[in-house]
Structure 1
Amino acid sequence: MVKIRLSRGGAKGRPFYHVVVTDQRNKRDGRNIENVGFYNPVAAGKDKRLELNIARVQEWVGKGAQLTDKVAALVKEAGKQQAA
């Protein structure tokens, strides 16, 4: 099954996540199909906290991809940002 989930990057104590489309059997930071955005939980100042390509996420969901709980919350947040 294809999942849209977070892949961790960044340094110790400064996490940075890529939102990726991947097969669920792959490791968390392993091979992925497509990178659809990023999430920076420790963004400060002018740094962007969240950026998602909503159109690509919706296209993958239409093809049967499943969102993890955290990514579903981030997609909802990104939708609110675009509406504003």
Structure 2
Amino acid sequence: MSLDIYTDLEHRRQLDREFPEWKAWRATDSLGEPGDWYASRRRRITPEQLRAGLWATVHAASPEALRDLLAEQTEIASRTQ
């Protein structure tokens, strides 16, 4: 296993631990090269939640930026409940 794959796995595991309501992954391009980071909710969201600013899937260029987006989504969700 290459170092990049190991590092990606550790980032995904950390994001999944910090945000258990989300599933994180890293996309690959058509050549199999690493791409952007994504996370999708494990449960569906309602139209009301969408209007409040919640997203079913988010993406970012780095795991750190994805963590920030997930934290923002968590904050929005706490205000809509």
TM superposition score normalised by structure 2: 0.32
Which is bigger in relative contact order (C-alpha 8 A, separation at least 6)? 1
* Structure with a larger share of its residues in helix: 2
Q: Which has the larger radius of gyration?
A: 2
Task: Write 1 or 2 for the structure with the bigger share of strand.
Answer: 1
Question: Structure 1 length as normaliser, TM-score?
Answer: 0.31
